[in-house]
Amino acid sequence: MAPNQKAEKQHDLLPYKGKIERFIEPCLLLLLAEKPAHGYELIEPLSQFDFEPNVDPGQIYRTLRRMEKHGFVVSNWETGKAGPARRRYQLTAQGEGFLTSWIKTLTKRVQMIEKLLQRYDQIMER
């Protein structure tokens, strides 16, 4: 096929972020494994995982609800306390299993990246 200069619709390439798809899921599950919490309360601890750009609260709530639909967490409304009602989430046994599979996936990802990094080091040595 001959060279061709059609317009390109896709992304402009920069900025590249190298984000990990749905990384928020294992982060949320881990935090809930440590202790039950409501969404708002998870914003700050989540930010410790260095999300860039900053963690989107909307995404937290959506992800929690989604995971609840799949039985990975359960929630109950907590009134009584000060301020508006909060939905308190707890990890389920299923959720633990899901976290475990996430851990396996992430371990593989690290290996993938390490492989590339090592190969990069090799060509840099020359």
Partner DNA sequence: AATAGGTATATGAAGTTTACACATAGATGT
Partner DNA sequence: ACATCTATGTGTAAACTTCATATACCTATT
Binding site for a second copy (CB under 8 A): 1, 3, 8, 10-11, 13-14, 16-23, 25-27, 30, 33-34, 48-50, 62, 65-67, 69-70, 77, 84-85, 87, 99, 101-103, 105-117, 119-120, 123
Find residue 76's DSSP bridge partners.
Answer: 88
Question: Which has the closest alpha carbon to 51: 23, 14, 13?
Answer: 23
Environment class of residue 91 by beta-carbon count within 10 Å: exposed (0-12), middle (13-18) or buried (19+)? buried
In the complex, least distance from residue 126 CB atom to DNA, rounded to whole angstroms = 26
Give the one residue of 27, 46, 64, 99 binding DNA; rule: CB under 7 A: 64
Per the CB < 8 A criterion, the answer to whether 71 and 95 are in contact is yes
Any idea what DSSP says for residue 48?
T
Q: Which residues bind DNA (CB under 7 A)?
A: 1, 3-4, 6, 9-13, 16-17, 19, 21-24, 38-41, 51-53, 56-59, 61-62, 64-65, 79, 81-88
